Amino acid sequence: MIDIVKTSPYLDQKMGTAGLRKKTSIAMQKNYFENFMQSIFNTIPELSKKSFLVGGDGRYYNAIAIQKIIKIAAANGVKKLYVGKDGLVSTPASSHILLKNHLDGSFVLSASHNPGGIDGDFGIKYANASGGQCQPSESAAIFEQTKTITEYKIVDCPDFDLSEIGTFKCNQTEIEVIDPYVDYIQLMQSIFDFNSIKKLLTSGFRFVFDAMNGVTGPYAKKIFEEILGAPKGTVLNGKPLEDFGGLHPDPNLIYAKSLVDLMYSDKAPDFAAANDGDGDRNMILGKQFFVCPSDCLAILTNNYKLIPAYKNGIFGVAKSAATSLAVKHVAEALKIGYYEVPTGWKYFIHLMDTNRITFCGEESFGTGASYIREKDGIWATLFWLSIIAKTHKSIKEIAVTHWQQYGRNYYLRNDYEAIPQDIADKLMADLEQKLPALTGKTLKGYTISKAHPLIYNDPVDNTSTKNGLIIHFTNGSRIVYRLSGTGTIGATLRVYIERYVTDKLLEDPQTMLKDLEEVSRIIADIPARTNKEKPDIIT
């Protein structure tokens, strides 16, 4: 039986750069999730011909939300839903399953790298048939629906068992519970030389993978331990938990602390990787060595020939404006296409769809390639393992060799969190106003060569997007300012700072960037406006 439930709008359901992300307690309000799902379905024509994938990273409220999706989809006459067994699917695997089966979209229940649990965050990533996040026009249409919604449809029936592979019906809708791992694993086997990685991992080479109690645990155990022969116990925090075991599942130097401590101790294995809650972000570490994500993109791109799927050539590479220029040096040397885009994976998708790029990445621990339309932490890990297997170099040697060839872009991101929205907006607006007047100014020895907003003209849909303010210095250094699109409390000001050098390759980034960080605060008048002398988080 279909219930038509009367409801009233929640006015905060605007999607950010990665879907809708909210405090769990907000998402759990009466009708909140239902309203949002109905709003999505209201924007999609001919639902009786449409099939979608549903799954998530295992966080709190996913199990309830997945049941709601099934019942709302069925009440709206959706043709078919594929649901990951136990409600699980990683973001990269979801993109592959969607593309492989020519589905019309997917709903991945995840707040990505944000903490989970009743006091944590909940989120929905909605991807369309492209295999990646929906277009701004689609999210705008959904937002419009959320503002006027008066009712939603839901099938009144008991919950379904999602713990076994199989097919059943809810009203006219077919529900297929699928293995969320098998297709993705085959995909990885088609890209990388598993034999050479297996040789490395069974030769005494010591590797650990930290799944941070997110969704990549089962993927990683199957790939690294079962197929590639790494010893049992290689995968740490390998069981998806509703609250990530209290971890903040963001693979960076702050939140993956126990892994970082291990890698800086005298018990450090040769190589470590960590993934975030839904498996699209990655952090790469060597013995007493951290690979900055911007360098990661540059180094992978520089080594593309070592990977079977890419050895015949790659189209080009793209990075978000906030990411350092390290990969630009590589693209110029390799004479491949190079693009700088606003933050948000959707910009990369257009470049992939038109064969302009093969690789792309962001400073926020995201790297990926055109075999899917999302970033992919396990892919990045397998890529690094391949480089090690073929070059027999340590992570540090690989990075240092790279810097010797191209120079080093020291890089840090400063986040100023929970700033009142109006103050953050005014800070950005005032800074933008004064950009033209900054050219030629010298602060702490850094001379500004030009300053401008990033304006990106999308080559596919001919739209122009403004995202971030960029200050260039005469010595190749840069500062980029932008407001986060994924925060859940107030506004987060992100300031991205990079300094380019061709000598002094092995210094501490904090020391190398101290003056430039100070310069970034002076230019935007951050302490006076935000009451913060220092950033809340430095990554």
Which chain residues interact with ligand G1P by CB under 6 A?
Answer: 17-18, 112, 320, 343-345, 362, 364, 484-486, 494
Annotated active-site residue in 51, 112, 477, 484: 112
Q: Which of 193, 280, 363, 374 binds Zn ion (CB under 5 A)?
A: 280
Helix axes 377-391, 293-302, angle to 10 degrees: 50
Q: How far is CA 291 from CA 182, 243, 316, 360, 363, in A?
A: 30, 28, 22, 16, 11
Q: Of these partners, Zn ion, ligand G1P, none, which one is at the site of residue 343 (CB under 5 to 8 Å by kind)?
A: ligand G1P
Q: Which residues contact 445 (CB under 8 A, 6 or more apart)?
A: 515
State the binding partner of 62 from Zn ion, ligand G1P, none, CB within 5 to 8 A by kind. none
Q: Which two tokens stand for residue 88?
A: 């699980």
Tell me which of Zn ion, ligand G1P, none is bound by residue 278, counting a contact when its beta carbon lies within the kind-specific cut-off of 5 to 8 angstroms.
Zn ion
CA distance 383 to 372: 15
Least CB distance to Zn ion at residue 392 (A): 32
Nearest distance from residue 494's CB to ligand G1P, in Å?
6
CB of 156 to ligand G1P, least distance (A): 36
Q: Pick from 395, 412, 404: which is nearest to 504 by CA? A: 404
How far is Cα 464 from Cα 177, in angstroms, rounded to an integer?
Answer: 41
| DSSP H or E segment with residue 23 | strand 20-23
Least separation, in Å, of the C-beta of 280 and Zn ion? 4
Position among 121, 193, 276, 362 found at the interface with Zn ion (CB under 5 A): 276
Which of Zn ion, ligand G1P, none does residue 295 bind to, with CB < 5 to 8 Å depending on kind? Answer: none
Nearer to ligand G1P, 51 or 320 (CB): 320
Is residue 112 annotated as part of the catalytic site, yes or no?
Answer: yes
Nearer to ligand G1P, 17 or 386 (CB): 17
- The length of the chain in residues reads 539
- Alpha helices for 271-420 (secondary structure H): 293-302, 326-334, 345-353, 377-391, 395-406
Among residues 75 and 431, whose Cβ is nearest to ligand G1P? 431
112 touches Zn ion by CB under 5 A: yes
Among 293, 341, 318, 324, smallest CA distance to 407 is for 324
Closer residue to Zn ion, CB minimum distance, 277 or 316 = 277
Q: Which does 276 bind (CB under 5 to 8 A by kind): ligand G1P, Zn ion, none?
A: Zn ion
Cα separation, 361 vs 280, whole angstroms: 11
User: Could you tell me the two tokens for 316?
Assistant: 């080009």
Q: What residues pair up with 22 in beta bridges, in sequence order?
A: 122
Q: Which is nearer to Zn ion, 66 or 274 (CB)?
A: 274
Residue of minimal CB distance from ligand G1P? 484
- Encoding tokens for residue 252? 């960076």
In the complex, the residues that contact Zn ion under the rule CB under 5 A are: 112, 276, 278, 280-281
Q: Catalytic residue numbers? A: 112
